[in-house]
Amino acid sequence: MKLFLADEAATIELGRRFLQQLPQDLAGWTVLLAGELGAGKSTFARALIRAAGHTGPVPSPTYTLVEPYALARGMIYHVDLYRLSSEEELRYLGWNELDDGFRLVEWPERAPGLAAQADVTLTLAYEADGRSARLTGLSERGETLVNAVADS
């Protein structure tokens, strides 16, 4: 599924729509957020986290690498892999301990093996005066989710 996002508000709306189509229990889902610097990955993540009920700030996890959010629907982990130099560093992040929640992963190309265990990839790119968003289901439930977002 490909969409044109005219502005930041459209990216925020996509984050809200995406969350609405997820099951009530978010545990075990992994969504990969790909795209160039400034393409809207963090904007999408912030919108989803806020739509899930978080009312405080949603800082970029560029330096902390993982920002956890304990919410009514479960844990959401906003993960930024930009500073990783190899996929093996995931174990130092405690990656396996994050499977109790919903993982939103920026810069997934730093750990290419993640695609095998992820549900959806959202690829954001610059297009004309806005952005394009391409949602790709990587698992059966991910494909179902992408279709539901497309129909919403």
- Res 85: pLDDT: 83
pLDDT at 141 over 90: yes
- Res 38: pLDDT: 82
- If you average pLDDT over residues 19-26, what whole number do you get? 93
Q: What is the sign of the dihedral through the CA atoms of 83, 52, 40 and 58?
A: negative
Q: Which of 30-39, 62-71, 104-113, 131-140 has the lowest mean pLDDT?
A: 62-71
Q: If pLDDT is split at 50, 70 and 90, which confidence band does 152 have?
A: confident
- If you average pLDDT over residues 53-75, what whole number do you get? 88
- Res 39: pLDDT: 87
Contacts of 42 (CB under 8 A, 6+ apart): 60, 106
Strand partners, 67: 78
Tokens 């992408």: give the residue: 146
For the chain, the average pLDDT equals 91
**Alpha-carbon distance 151 to 78, whole Å?**
26
